Structure formats: structure tokens, C-alpha cells
Structure 1
Amino acid sequence: MPLTPLDIHNKEFGRRLRGYDEDEVNEFLDQVIKDYEALIRENKELQNQALSLQEKLNHFSNIEETLSKTIIVAQEAADEVKNNAKKEAQLIVKEAEKNADRIINESLSKSRKVSLEVEELKKQASIYRARFRTLVEAQLDLLSQEGWDTLDNHSHQLPAEVNRES
């Protein structure tokens, strides 16, 4: 058990014949008591201060731990958002590619259809031209036959009544 100021104060020394001066010893003990009490008070204050600092350290350690956990959770959330955005972007790209393929296929189909229609119209135009040429040639053949000349001559010989009607 440590020595207390009271122990020092109550300490009595035996007397001898050529011993120390009692007043000097008492004065010295009083000074030791005063210094010892001051050291005890200072030690108590330092212990209280150390306890307060330890409490603050624990508080800040808790805050640091909470912040670390919060940062980890925020990082995980950010990673999750990033991954979800990446997946969504991939889905959007796939959907766009599907739509593009569909549009291209529809355009190709329409193009083929239009091309077939154009070819059909060209064939019909060619057939029409050939028929029309045949018809015109047949009409020209008719016009170039000799019977027209005789018709011309006969129209001058018709009676005057027929000529007037025309």
C-alpha cells in the first residue's frame, strides 16, 4: 500500500541521545507532506485528464469507425449503381441493335418489294410499247395499202347530195 501524507505526518521516530534536531526533522517532514500532497493532486488531475482524453479518443475512434463503415457502404452502393447502369446500358444497346436489325430487315424487304414492282412495271411498259408499236405498224400497213387511193377517187364521184352531208 502506498504511503499517504497522513502516514508521513503521524510518523514518530524514537529518541536517542545524540539524535537529529527534532524541529528540523518536523520542518522537513512538513515540506515532504506538502510536496507529496501536491504530487498526489497533480497525479489525480493527470489521471482525470487522461480519462477525459481516453473518452474523447474512444468517441473519435467510434466516429472514425462509423465513417469508415459509411464510406465502405457508400462505395459498395456506388459500385452497385455503376454495375446496374452498365447492365442497363448493355440492355439498351442490345435493344437498339435489335430495333436496328428489324428496321434494316423491314427496309430491305420494302426495297425488294419496290424493286420487284419496278421490274413488273418495266415489263408491263415494254409489253404496252410492243403492243402499241404493233398496233401503229398495223395501222400504217393499212394506210399504205392500195385501197385508200381508190377510196379517194370514189369520193369525188359520189353524188352531190352525199358530198354535202359530209
Structure 2
Amino acid sequence: MPLTPLDIHNKEFGRRLRGYNEDEVNEFLDQVIKDFEIYLRENKDLQNQVASLQERLDHFANIEETLSKTIIVAQEAADEVRSNAKKEAQLIIKEAEKNADRIINESLVKSRKISLETEELKKQATIYRTRFRTLVEAQMEMLGTDQWDTLDPKEENA
């Protein structure tokens, strides 16, 4: 068990002949008691300070651990967002490619339809020109005959 200032104060020494000067010993013991009390108080204060610092250290260690976990969670969330963004971008690209293919196919169908309609119109224009030419030629032929010189209907029937 550690020595206390009270133990020092209550310590009695046996007397002998030619012993130490009792007043000097008591004075020295009083000084030792004062110094010992100072050291005990300082020791107690230092223990309290160490406990307080240890508590703060534990607090900061908890904060550090929490921050580390938060950083890891944030990194994982960022990775997940990045991954989701990539997937969404790929889906958008696939959808755009499908739409592009659909638009191209519709355009090709329309182009073929217009081409067929154009060919049909060319055929109809050729037929019209041929009929019109035949009509004009027939009319020109009529104009070139002598029947116009005589207006007798009897001759026409003959």
C-alpha cells in the first residue's frame, strides 16, 4: 500500500542516545509531507489530465472511424452512381440505335414507294403522250385530206 502524507506525519521514531535532533527531523518530515502532498496532487491532476486526454483521443478515434466509414460509403455510392450512369447511357444508346434503324427502314420504305409512284407516273405520262400524239396525228391527217374542200355530206359516205 502506498505511503500517504498522514503516514509520514504520524510516523514515530524510537529514541536513542545520541540520536538525531528531534526538531530537525520533525522539520524535515514536515517538508517531506508538504512535498509529498504536492506530488500526490500533481500526480492526481496528471492522472485526471491523462484520463481527459484519453477520452478525447477515444472521441477523435471514433470520429476518424466514422469518417473512414463515411468516405467508404460515399465512394461506394459514387461507384454505384457511375455504374448506373453507364448502364443508362448504354440503354439510351441502344434505344437511339433502334430509333435510327426504325427511321432508316421507314425512309427506305417511303423511298421505294415514291420510286414506284414515280415509275407509275412516268408510264402514265408516256401513255398520255402516246394517246395525245395519236389524237394529234389523226387530227392532222384529217386536216390534210381533201374532204375539207367539199362540204357535201354525200361524198363523205361514198
Report TM bin, short chain: 0.7 to 0.9
1:85-112 Cα shifts (integer Å, max 9, x gaps): 2211210111011111101110111011
The residue matched to 1:29 in structure 2 has which SS? helix
Q: Give unpaired runs (5+ residues) of structure 1.
A: 156-166
Distance 2:23 2:100 in 1: 112
Q: Does 1:13 pair with 2:13?
A: yes
Is 1:45 aligned with 2:45? yes
Q: What residue number does 1:139 align with? A: 139
Partner residue, 1:32:
32
TM-score by length of 1: 0.84
Q: Which has the larger radius of gyration?
A: 1
Distance 1:35 1:95 in 2: 88
Could you tell me how far 1:146 is from its partner in structure 2?
A: 2.1
Q: How many residues align?
A: 153
Shift of 1:28: 0.5
- CA distance in 2 between counterparts of 1:55 and 1:18 reads 56
Q: TM-score, normalised by structure 2?
A: 0.88
CA distance in 2, matches of 1:41, 1:147: 154
The residue matched to 1:150 in structure 2 has which SS? Answer: coil
Q: Which runs of 5+ in 2 are unaligned?
A: 154-158
- Name 1:86's counterpart in structure 2: 86
Instruction: Quote the offset at 1:143 in angstroms.
Output: 1.7
Counterpart residue identity of residue 22, structure 1: E
Following superposition, which runs of at least 4 residues in structure 1 exceed 6 angstroms of deviation? none
Identity, % of aligned positions = 82
Supply the AA of the counterpart residue of 2:109: S
